[in-house]
Amino acid sequence: MKKISIYELNSLYREPMRVEGYEYGEGEKSVCVVGSMRGNEIQQLFACSKLIQRLKQLEEKGCIVEGKSILVIPCINTYSMNIGKRFWSTDNTDINRMFPGYSEGETTQRIAAGVFEKIKDYKYGIQFASNYMAGSFLPHIRMMRTGFEDVETAKKFEFPYVVVRNTRPFDTTTLNYNWQIWETKAFSIFTTSTESIDAVSAKNAVKGIERMLNAEGVIRSSIAGGYHYNSQVLDDERLISVRCAEAGIYENMVGVGDEVYEGQVLARITDPYEGTLKEELVSPADGTVFFLHNAPLVYASTAVMKLVVE
């Protein structure tokens, strides 16, 4: 394992911001894994740290295939991570909306450009991603439909679900999209959480990456579990959103991954002052809870759940 410098940004008032990576093996740029790009992506950072530990063990056992190299970048936005702010600390811009970057542009554009220059030539790109919605997801692989997506390779992670969605205009400045345009096979991994640590979900994500690396001939190891290429491929539009009509204190009655039936009470919203029931949310169909809002308060018209319909 080699610790290498990916990008460095000087600062007037504090130490330079350093983006560092961990490299395993030598030769072909086979796989690059990127962790947190936002300051609240604690789970993504944690999952990367577990992957770094596992790859170190595999390298010491001689399990990295000769002529292959793996790069892991656990965190790109260390400044925001240090103060717990989701976006760039000074101007509130999102690094994952700045790719492929511009070396003479604004700060986050320069960071994106510096990092992308180092990672754009890898055969496979894996990002531990988070969603703009506050809540928990069933672990899954997510891909954009760009014409370069590779569903069959995504199944080799052996996650329960592979979600494919249409590209929206703002997606063109994300890491995943630009990786694909530069002909890197890109995959976003969603574990259950973002701002809190879920050790079981992180462990399963690391196992999924190990299964994919085995299947693609980057490493040789014994790894069990998974869905054995039986991942269910979903179009994002097949996920049914459950929205609340009222605002108030939010209480879930089900968990992520639970099977639900049509008419079942999924959540309750109560008045924050009087404690009276304002709304009961019921399931519109039989299915599985794919996403679950987990904040204690909710606004009206919020999508608090997504269901995979049977």
Provide the 3-class DSSP secondary structure of residue 198. coil
**What is the number of other CB atoms lying within 10 angstroms of the CB of residue 200?**
10
Q: Rg of the chain over CA atoms, in angstroms?
A: 20
Is the same domain home to 243 and 203? no
Is the same domain home to 137 and 214? yes
pTM: 0.93
Q: What is the pLDDT of residue 226?
A: 59
Is the same domain home to 88 and 127? yes
Is the same domain home to 155 and 274? no
Mean pLDDT (the chain, rounded): 94
Q: How far is CA 305 from CA 43, 197, 284, 297, in A?
A: 21, 21, 11, 14
Residue 13 has pLDDT above 90, yes or no: no
pLDDT tens, position by position, 143-181? 999 999 999 999 999 999 999 999 999 899 999 999 999
pLDDT tens, position by position, 88-139? 988 999 999 999 999 999 999 999 999 999 999 999 999 999 988 888 999 9
Greatest mean pLDDT range, 83-87, 132-136, 224-228: 83-87
Buried b (16+ CB within 10 A) or exposed e, 159-191: bbbbbbbebeeebebbbbbbbbbbebbbbbbbb
CATH label of the domain that carries residue 168: 3.40.630.10
* Confidence category of residue 305, pLDDT binned at 50, 70, 90: very high
**Single-letter amino acid code for the residue at 176:** N
Is the same domain home to 153 and 263? no
∠ CA 36-42-48, rounded to 5°: 55
pLDDT tens, position by position, 25-79? 999 999 999 999 999 999 999 999 999 999 999 999 999 999 999 999 999 999 8
Q: Is 149 exposed, middle or buried (0-12, 13-18, 19+ CB in 10 A)?
A: buried
Q: What percent of the chain has pLDDT over 70?
A: 98
Among 182, 198, 230, the domain boundary falls at 230
Partners of 73 in the beta sheet? Answer: 34
Q: Are 146 and 168 in contact (CB under 8 A)?
A: no
Query: Can you tell me the distance from the alpha carbon of 249 to that of 276, in angstroms, rounded to the nearest whole number?
Result: 10
Q: Are 143 and 187 in contact (CB under 8 A)?
A: yes
Is the same domain home to 299 and 161? no
Is the same domain home to 271 and 208? no
Provide the 3-class DSSP secondary structure of residue 16. coil
Q: How many CA atoms lie within 13 A of 127 on its CB side?
A: 27
Among 230, 255, 280, the domain boundary falls at 230
Is the same domain home to 249 and 153? no
Range of the domain at 137: 2-230
Q: What is the pLDDT of residue 170?
A: 87
Is the same domain home to 243 and 285? yes
Query: Can you tell me the distance from the alpha carbon of 168 to that of 205, in angstroms, rounded to the nearest whole number?
Result: 26
Is the same domain home to 193 and 282? no
Is the same domain home to 11 and 54? yes
CA 132, 136, 138, 140 torsion-angle sign = positive
Q: What percent of the chain has pLDDT over 90?
A: 87
Residue 200 has pLDDT above 90, yes or no: yes
Query: Can you tell me the distance from the alpha carbon of 46 to that of 279, in angstroms, rounded to the nearest whole number?
Result: 37
Q: Are 80 and 88 in contact (CB under 8 A)?
A: yes
| pLDDT mean over 255-276 | 97
CATH label of the domain that carries residue 243: 2.40.50.100
Is the same domain home to 118 and 206? yes
Number of domains in the chain: 2
Among 205, 230, 255, the domain boundary falls at 230
Q: Which of the pair, 16 or 283, is modelled with greater confidence? A: 283
Q: What is the pLDDT of residue 186?
A: 97
Q: How far is CA 85 from the centre of its chain?
A: 18
